[in-house]
Amino acid sequence: MNEAISIEPVKTCLLALQDTICRALADLETHARFREDAWTRELGGGGLSRVLEQGAVFEKAGVNFSHVHGDRLPPSASVNRPELAGRSFQAMGVSVVVHPDNPFVPTSHLNVRFFVAEKPGAAPVWWFGGGFDLTPCYGFAEDARHWHRVAHSACREFGADVYPKFKQWCDEYFFIRHRGEARGIGGLFFDDLNEWGFSRCFEFMRSVGDHYLPAYLPIVARRKDAPYTGRHKDFQQYRRGRYVEFNLVYDRGTLFGLQSGGRVESILMSLPPRVQWQYNRKEEPGSDEARLAAEFLTPRDWLEQRGASEN
C-alpha cells in the first residue's frame, strides 16, 4: 500500500479504451457515426462524450470519458468509507452503454474507474472499480456462457477466487430490489479495489476494459441480423423499463454524477431512446418472453451451465 500512485497512465489508458471501443462499434455500422462532445464541469474537470444514435445495429451507443475533481467527495463515493467524507477528490473513468436495435442482441454495459481522495497531512486514499454486465431481452445460453467465459478470462491471472467473487458481487449489485429480479445475466462488478497495490489493481482494471469487446462483439455478430417482429420490439421496450428503473434508483455511477454536479446529458446517456411501461404485464407461460425470467434472470454458474435451452 506504500507504492506510489500515478494518475496520468490511468488517464491515458482510459482515453485509449474509449477510442478502441468507439472504433469497434462504429465499424459495425453502415451509416451512423459517433458524435463527439467535449465538456467542462463548473466545479472542476470535464470529459469527452461520444454518442451514436439511430444506427442499423445500435439504436443508441454511448462511450463516455470523464475526469472530474472537487473539494468534497460526494456521499455516493464514500458510502462504504464514511471516514473519507469531506476529502477532496479526483475521479476518472470510461462508461459504455449499448442499446441495440435488434431485440435479440442484448444491451451491454461497461464501466472502469479510478478514485483518489485526499486531505492535507494524510496519504491519499485511492481505489479502482468497474465491471461489465449483459442485459438480454431474449435469452440464449450460448451467449451467456460466452460472456461469462470471457469475464473469467479477464480475472484468471489475478487469482482463482477473483472471478467467483466479482461475479457474485455483480449478481448482487445489478438486482432490482423493488422488482425482486436481476437486471440481466451479470458479469463482473468490483469496487474499492486497492489491496493488491496500485500497479496490480491498475492491471486488473485494464484487463476488465480490454475484455469487454471480446465478450460482446461475437454476441452482436451472432444476433444482429436475426429476423424479429413487432412483438419482439414491444417486449424489448418493456424490458428496457427495468434498465431505466435500476439506473435511476440504484446505480452508483448515476448517483455520483448527479451528486457531484456532473453533466446531466452525459450521466443520463445510459438511458435507452425508446422505452415503455405496461401495467401488470404477464407473459404467456412457456413463451420466449416468459423464459427470460424463468431461465436467465436467476444467478447461476454459467461456466458450467447446460440446463437452459440453446435456441
Active site residues: 109
Residues of 280-304 as b/e, b for ≥16 C-beta within 10 angstroms? eeeeeeeebbebbeebbbeebebee
Residue 205's φ and ψ, nearest 5 degrees, are -55, -40
Q: How many Å apart are CA 135 and CA 139, to the nearest integer?
A: 9
- Is 166 in contact with 155 (CB distance < 8 Å)? yes
| Cell numbers linked to 79 | 458510502
Residue of 222, 235, 219, 229 lying closest to 274 (CA atoms): 235
240-to-135, 236, 265, 286 alpha-carbon distances in Å = 9, 6, 19, 21
Three-state secondary structure call for residue 71:
coil
